[in-house]
Structures are given as C-alpha cells and as structure tokens.
Amino acid sequence: DQQVKQNSPSLSVQEGRISILNCDYTNSMFDYFLWYKKYPAEGPTFLISISSIKDKNEDGRFTVFLNKSAKHLSLHIVPSQPGDSAVYFCAARTSGGYQKVTFGIGTKLQVIP
Amino acid sequence: EPEVTQTPSHQVTQMGQEVILRCVPISNHLYFYWYRQILGQKVEFLVSFYNNEISEKSEIFDDQFSVERPDGSNFTLKIRSTKLEDSAMYFCASAGGNNQPQHFGDGTRLSIL
C-alpha cells in the first residue's frame, strides 16, 4: 500500500536555512492532508494541515503547499531550528467516513546547529 | 494542553496470551482510533470508534482484535490470542470532530515472545 509516499528517508539542513519535505500521493479521493512530527519514544504530534480546496496553508514557521494536479505536497520550515529535528510524517484522508488517516513512511529531518 | 495518555508504555506477553492496551483520550473528544507501527514500517490504521461502535476497520483488525469504551474515559484495544507478528507500537488517537486532526498518545510498545 503506497498511497502516500515520502521518497526521502532523511534530510539534513543547516540551522536557519529552509527545510523542504516532500510527499506524493496516488489516491485521488484524498482531500485533506496533514503533517505530523514525531520525536523518539513519543507519538506523532499534529503540525499543520491543508484541505484540497487550498494550495497553501501557513502557520508560523511552517507552510504546506499542495499541488493537486501533480498529487504532491510539501512542508516548508523556515527558519529551521535544532528542535525541529524529528521524523515528519505526511498523511492524508478522504472526506466522509470517520477520518481514517493514511500515513507515509516518514522523513527524518536533522537540523545542524 | 490536553493529552492522550496510554498505558502501559511497554508490554511483554507470551504468544497466545491475551493483552489489553489502554488509552485515555482527550476528555471532550468523540472520535477514537487505534493505529500500529511495526518496526521500520508505516503507521497503519486499525480501527475507528464513534458513538460506542466501530465505524471503520482495516483488514488488519481481524477477529482477534476488539475495542471497547468501558466507561466515560477509557478506550481499550484487546488482542485475544497474540501472535509474534503483533509485536509493534500501538498508538491511540482521538479527535474532537469530523474535521479535526487526530491527536496521538505516546504509544504502547507490545513485544510478543
């Protein structure tokens, strides 16, 4: 089941620079997308989401971009901070139903001080 | 900030034994979920629960699994006869509404010997 794909297992970025995490999806029924952050020994923490009727959503240092025609979304973190070092999961769900969320495998971000 | 809490943090059980994983969702949430993550793999949806009944379940959630909300605060996942392949992190999540993001607990690591 590869409905949500994160092709980069890891990413290293210098502190203060931009981090860009990418995600592709194959299920055209997905209409709501989420990013979760996960530290070791903790559960996923909700970060930011975007509905399919938008192409951008911003929350502080975090911006998510959605390109529906390409079935691609990305998370931008600017400026990156060492505390952002974590695994980032892209996730998606369809409307209706009870919000079953489909996760990608995650990208491990390391922000180097 | 309200949290989803899960107990125990680590459960070791002999194969064939029953295990109950416990969760206390955020108090005013109405939608409850279980996910699992086998080591090195994706977070996978198991089941969603709303209005005291299962609303959706995955193919993983077979007859060996059951969920219950025995009182107003707890939400449990029972595995009747555990198998080696049930070893995983099990995450509980809850959401306040149909359009709200799910909030996750820190998980229970289940080890089947």
> Which domains does chain B possess?
5-112 (2.60.40.10)
Do A43 and B104 count as a contact with CB atoms less than 8 A apart?
A: yes
How far apart (Å, rounded) are the C-alpha atoms in residues B17 and A51? 43
pLDDT above 70 covers a percentage of chain A that reads 96
Kindly list the residues from chain B whose CB atom is less than 8 angstroms away from the CB atom of residue A104: 42
Kindly list the residues from chain A whose CB atom is less than 8 angstroms away from the CB atom of residue B1: none
| A41 — pLDDT class (breaks 50, 70, 90) | confident
Look at residue B101 in the predicted model and tell me its pLDDT. 87
Render pLDDT for B37-50 as a digit per residue (tens, 0 to 9).
999 899 999 999 99
Q: How far is B19 from chain A (nearest CA, A)?
A: 20
How far apart (Å, rounded) are the C-alpha atoms in residues B83 and B14? 9
CATH number assigned to the domain comprising residue A100 = 2.60.40.10
pLDDT: which is higher, B77 or A98: B77
Task: Note whether A31 and A91 are within 8 A (CB).
Answer: no
In A1-113, which ranges are E strands? Answer: 4-5, 10-14, 19-25, 30-38, 45-51, 56-59, 62-67, 72-77, 86-94, 102-103, 107-112
Cβ of residue B50 closer than 8 Å to a chain A Cβ: yes
Closest CB to A43: pick one of B42, B45, B105: B105
The boundaries of the domain holding residue A21 are 4-112
Mean pLDDT for B27-42 is: 93
Residue B44: Cβ within 10 Å count:
18
Kindly list the residues from chain A whose CB atom is less than 8 angstroms away from the CB atom of residue B42: 103-106
How far apart (Å, rounded) are the C-alpha atoms in residues B6 and B9? 7
| A98 — pLDDT class (breaks 50, 70, 90) | low
Number of domains in chain A: 1
Nearest CA to A108 out of A43, A2, A4, A13 is that of: A13
Residue B73 pLDDT > 90, yes or no? no
How far apart (Å, rounded) are the C-alpha atoms in residues A102 and A104? 7
Q: How far is B80 from chain A (nearest CA, A)?
A: 24
Look at residue B97 in the predicted model and tell me its pLDDT. 84
